[in-house]
Each structure stands twice: as C-alpha cells, then as structure tokens.
Amino acid sequence: MDLGRKVLGRRGFDQFMKMTFYGQFVAGEDHRAIKPLIQKNQAFGVGSVLDYSVEEDISQEEAEQKEMEYESCGITRHFSQDHRERKYKAHKQFGDRRGGVTAARTYFYADEAKCDQHMETFIKCIKASGGSSMDGFSAIKMTALGRPQFLLQFSEVLVKWRRFFNFLAAQQGQDGMEALEQRLELKQLQEFLTKLGAKGDFYGWFSGRKAESSGTIDMLDWNSLIDDRTKISDLLVVPNVELGELEPLLGTFTSEEEKQMKRMLQRMDVLAKYAVENGVRLMVDAEQTYFQPAISRLTLEMQRLYNKEKPVIFNTFQCYLKEAYDNVTMDVELSRREGWCFAAKLVRGAYMYQERERAKEIGYEDPINPDYESTNWMYHRCLDYVLDEIALNGNANVMVASHNEDTVKHTLRRMNELGLLPTENKVYFGQLLGMCDQISFPLGQAGFPVYKYVPYGPVNEVMPYLSRRAQENRGFMKGAQKERELLWKELKRRVASGDLLYRPAY
C-alpha cells in the first residue's frame, strides 16, 4: 500500500483504490457520498447497515502499553489466578487487538474525550442512516465508548459469577446440563455456602424476591444479584482457589469502575435516543471473548430500556463460540420474563485466529468450536431456537448475517415450515457490501428483509478494513467465478424472454 502511494502519489492512489478494492467494499467517503449507492440498493429491495469504518491508527508498542496499563494499578490484586480466568488478564503479546482479525474494526481507548468523539461519529452515522433509508441500521462498537480495560475487568466479574453457579450446580448433581436446565435448591445452597463461610441470607433474599418461590433458582435468578450489587454486597462472594476461602466478588470493583460503567451506559443511552428519533436500529457488534461478557451485559441493559415495544437495540452472538447456544437461550428467556423484544444478529465470528493464538499462548481453554462443521451446527441450532421463539411468541427478531448459501436456504425452509412471512419483518438477512450479491439481491427482489453492511470513510483511513477484506477473501475469485456464471445464465434468460433490461422504481 505504501509503495502504491509512492508510485501513484496520494491523489492517484486514492483514485486507483476507488476504482478497484475500495470501490468494491466501501460505499464512499462520507454520508453524502454513500446516498446514491444506498438508494440504488433500496430500489432492488436491499437495505443498509451503516458502518463508519475508520479505525484508530496505533502502533504495536502503544497498544501493548494501553492494554497493560491497568495491571500496574493493582486491578488484579484480589482475584484468584485460576487458569480459566487468565483470559481476562492483559497480555503484552496481544496488546494490539487488530492482530488476526478478519472481519471487524478495532478501537483503542485514549481518554474520555476520545470516547465522546467516537460517540459523535456514531451519531453522524445514525443520522446518515435515518436520512438515507427507511428502517435502516447503524453499527456501533462498545470498545469505542469506554475503557476496554474496564470491559476486561467487568467480563471477569461476570464470568466468575457464572462459573460459581456452575460449580454450585455440580455440587447438587447437575453437572453437564444445559445452562437453563440447571436449578439450585435454595436450602441446600444456603447450607453449603454457610459451611464455606458465607454470611449472607441467600434463601431469604431469593424467597422474598420471588412471589411464588419454587424453592429453586436458575442462572437468570443468580445473575439478578449483580443487578442489585450495591445493596447486597454480602451475597456477592466467590471462592478464592489459592486461599481456599470465599472473597468479595467486587473486591476490586471500585467507585471509579462504577463511574466508567455509567459513562458507557450514558453514551449508549444518547445513541439509542438518536436511533429512536431517526427511525434507526442499533447493531452492537461483537468483539473478542475477553470483552464480550461485559459488552453483552451492557447491551442487555439498553435492550431492557429501549426494546419494550419494538426492537431498537440488537446484540450480536458469535456462533463459533462453544457457549453461543447458552448465551442465546438465556437472553431469550430473560426477554420472556421481563417482557421486552429479543433482537439479535447471528454471525459465525471474526476473531478465530486471534482467539486461538491467545488461548494457546496464555494457557486457557480455546473458546472456539473445533471445526467449521461444528460452528455451522451451532449457528443453525441458535437460529432454530430463535425462529421457534418468533413462531411461538412473536416477540423476537433475528438477523441472519451469513454468506453461507446453505444457512440462507435453511432459514428460508424453516420460515416456510413455521409459517413466518417476510412481511412480518421478524427475520432479516445480512451480507457485507461487495460480497454475495447473488444472495442479497434475489432475497430483496423476493420481498425478504435483506441488508448490506455498508462501510464508509476516507480512503486512507479505511485501509485496515480493506486489508482484512483482502485476507478474508482469499477465495474471492472462486466466488466471483460463480457470480459470473449466474450473471451469464440470467443474461441468456432475459435475451430469450425479451426482457433484457430491468428498470427498478427509484
């Protein structure tokens, strides 16, 4: 890329990119330049998910320093060093989170002012989406809105709490069961925790909270303790493996971390309000697994507020993760109990190589499914669960974000079996701009809600995004050959039928 700039000059290089790779995968430099493409796609029944794809340009050394800064502040001093929790520690080799990432953009935390700038960028994107199309989406990244180190720490807290539930369930003979099938008997729970040294009244708290208490609690009940963490700190305890005793779960969750959480939620709240005002839905992108528990939890807080009547906030579930099904089913069940609209984008995942390398290097279990076939199985399992929920209760929404033709065919077949009509706008399809047009446009013409993920931004600032498109599309020519074959087949059909030109109603 640098050689190209030297040979062609800045302007010549930009022009060359616009005629080639940039023109294929990026819609334009700003919200005004992208309007023609958005409107053209819309004429063929294809909507847009706007994604301002500019990234922070930061050196490896700077990234390492930023990812390691919080360790020097003693943030990990009270947490056990269980190998399962090493995932949530900073690690020098993986300071630059762009390494090994093929399909997502990355932000780095500078300061609160920079986070506010990112929020303003997202606001412009939301306004551009609202002004360019009906029922559009705007993509946002949670790591752009706050301190990634906080997300790392909060993720550790959430995962520790969940693992403690799994440990307690195993003590009651429920090891290996699906997450929502595990139920703790309250009296046994109280007796066991008291023996461990806990002083809180778990039985009384849960019995008083549930009007018709069955004497048992599940994972969602257990997680509700985190919601009221300021009032019941004596209940929030976990085992310390090294010391062999219970310790406060939030022993290091200081008032400053509480403030950081509030600031992130405040920025999310601002974006959600702009989205509602502009008739746009927000798509919260998934990120690395060591951030994702916190990202999903904060997204869920926004869904509770803004998805009461219709889906405004969409969370993203990465189906290459071993725990994807548990994550989807728990959020669907929580939306049922609390009465808000479940809204999700299902993807396979963009961080596989980085995740595997990090797990191997640091020494924790690989969070990724072992092979592509098991990821496909997981994707379809999660998708079927949500489709069944839509058919049964009508209060869920899903975007099938996939370039896999078999997955799209599977979705259409299941929709037909369940009697789900495309006009209900409960099931959406999504592909990246410049890829799989042979899937997107036939779906749009057939009346299905289908969207292109539309990146935009100045040529020189979206190069990291374009480099990942190049890496991801090593099999691009194979797909291009198939598209040419389909185009030739369609051209011959039109010539034979005398319907050579198609003129959409702009």
Task: Provide the percentage of residues in the chain whose pLDDT is more than 90.
Answer: 41
The predicted structure's pLDDT at residue 333: 96
Instruction: Give dist(CA 320, CA 323) in Å, integer.
Output: 9
Instruction: Look up residue 198 and give its two tokens.
Output: 């806990």
The predicted structure's pLDDT at residue 193: 87
Three-class secondary structure assignment of 98-154:
CCCCCCCCCCCCCCHHHHHHHHHHHHHHHHHHHHHCCCCEEEECHHHCCCHHHHHHH
Instruction: Give dist(CA 105, CA 466) in Å, integer.
Output: 10
Instruction: Give dist(CA 261, CA 284) in Å, integer.
Output: 16
Whole-number Cα distances in Å, 172 to 183, 187, 236, 323, 455:
9, 11, 20, 22, 50
* Distance of alpha carbon 76 from the chain centroid: 26
The predicted structure's pLDDT at residue 33: 85
Q: Hey, how many other C-beta atoms are within 10 angstroms of the C-beta on 151?
A: 28
Assigned architecture for domain 1-147+253-474: Alpha-Beta Barrel (3.20)
Is residue 246 within 8 A of residue 198, CB to CB? The reply is yes
Is residue 219 within 8 A of residue 180, CB to CB? The reply is yes
Which of 169, 280, 256, 283 has its CA nearest to residue 218?
A: 169
Give the CB-side neighbour count of residue 114, counting CA atoms within 13 A.
Answer: 12
Please list the residues that pair with 104 across neighbouring strands.
Answer: none
Question: Can you list the pairs that 434-439 forms with residues at least 24 positions away whose Cβ atoms lie under 8 Å?
Answer: 434/24, 434/25, 434/469, 435/25, 435/403, 435/473, 435/479, 436/403, 436/479, 437/483, 438/482, 438/483, 438/486, 439/403, 439/405, 439/408
Question: Can you list the pairs that 28-35 forms with residues at least 24 positions away whose Cβ atoms lie under 8 Å?
Answer: 28/456, 29/456, 29/457, 29/458, 29/459, 30/456, 30/457, 30/458, 31/124, 31/125, 31/127, 31/128, 31/131, 31/132, 31/456, 33/456, 34/128, 34/132, 34/454, 34/456, 35/132
The predicted structure's pLDDT at residue 77: 35
Instruction: Give dist(CA 301, CA 77) in Å, integer.
Output: 28
The predicted structure's pLDDT at residue 289: 86
The predicted structure's pLDDT at residue 490: 65
Which parts of the chain register pLDDT below 70? 1-21, 53-110, 209-213, 228-234, 241-244, 252-253, 460-461, 463-484, 486-488, 490-491, 494, 498-506
What's the distance, Cα to Cα, between the start and end of the chain in Å? 37
The predicted structure's pLDDT at residue 477: 47
Domain boundaries, the chain: 1-147+253-474, 156-248
Is residue 285 within 8 A of residue 346, CB to CB? The reply is no
* Distance of alpha carbon 242 from the chain centroid: 34
Which of 260, 257, 270 has its CA nearest to residue 302?
A: 270
Is residue 184 within 8 A of residue 222, CB to CB? The reply is yes
Length of the chain in terms of residues written: 506
Is residue 389 within 8 A of residue 331, CB to CB? The reply is no
pLDDT digits (tens, 9 = 90+) for 272-288: 999 999 999 999 999 88
Cβ neighbours of residue 80 under 8 Å, at least 6 residues apart?
Answer: 239, 240, 241, 242, 243
Is residue 183 within 8 A of residue 218, CB to CB? The reply is yes
- 200-219 exposure pattern, b = at least 16 Cβ within 10 A, e = fewer: bebbebbeeeeeeeeebbbb
Is residue 455 within 8 A of residue 27, CB to CB? The reply is yes
